Amino acid sequence: MDTITIFTAVTAAAVVLQAGVLVGILLAVRKTSTRMESLAQELRTKALPTLESAQALMDASRGKLENILENVESTTSVVRGQVERLDSTVTNIIDRTRLQVIRADELVTRTIDKVEEATQSVEHTVVSPVRQISGLMQGVSVGLEAFFRGRSRRRQAGDGMGVPQDEMFI
């Protein structure tokens, strides 16, 4: 056998084998294509109506959503304005409260100062003279006591006893 015959036979076998592979690929592609067409048909029948109803719902809701967004925006503006007013009011109240606390502190301080002044005045005008009078009265009392004790000692000395009774008692 000649090399050309062998080469021709090998080439023929390779062509037949290649044709078989191509036929197998063709069958697999047809089977896959059929499966893809059935999936596409199922998708059309099930998913497309759902997508269409979702689109219709979004189209119908668009006006309502825009209205809701406008309402939220206007509500936010109103709330912001009210919060600013509330902040201003609270700041004003705090400032007034501080002022009243300062005034009350000054009033209490002045009152305490006046009470101290009155205490000093009372002490100077009343307590000092009372102390002086009390000291004078104690002096007079001690003087009278000493005077009367001296008399009683002289009487006891006249009794003949040279020792006063208070001293004998010990």
pTM to 2 decimal places? 0.40
How far is it, in rounded angstroms, from Cα 101 to Cα 108?
Answer: 10
Encoded amino acid at 51, one letter: L
Encoded amino acid at 155, one letter: R
Q: Which two tokens stand for residue 153?
A: 């000692």
162 falls within a domain: no
How far is it, in rounded angstroms, from Cα 83 to Cα 148?
Answer: 92
77 falls within a domain: yes
Q: What is the pLDDT of residue 17?
A: 95
Distances (CA, A) of 124 to 42, 143, 161: 114, 28, 52
Contact 90, 98 (CB under 8 A): no
66 falls within a domain: yes
Q: What is the pLDDT of residue 162?
A: 52
161 falls within a domain: no
168 falls within a domain: no
Q: Which residue range(s) make up the domain with 72?
A: 3-142
Contact 158, 167 (CB under 8 A): no
148 falls within a domain: no
How far is it, in rounded angstroms, from Cα 127 to Cα 6?
Answer: 151
Contact 125, 132 (CB under 8 A): no
Contacts of 165 (CB under 8 A, 6+ apart): 156
**Ordered mean pLDDT values, 10 residues apiece, the chain (170 residues):** 88 94 94 92 86 86 88 93 94 94 94 90 80 87 84 64 54
Indicate the number of domains in the chain. Answer: 1
69 falls within a domain: yes
Q: What is the pLDDT of residue 165?
A: 56
How far is it, in rounded angstroms, from Cα 50 to Cα 42?
Answer: 12
Q: What is the pLDDT of residue 128?
A: 79
15 falls within a domain: yes
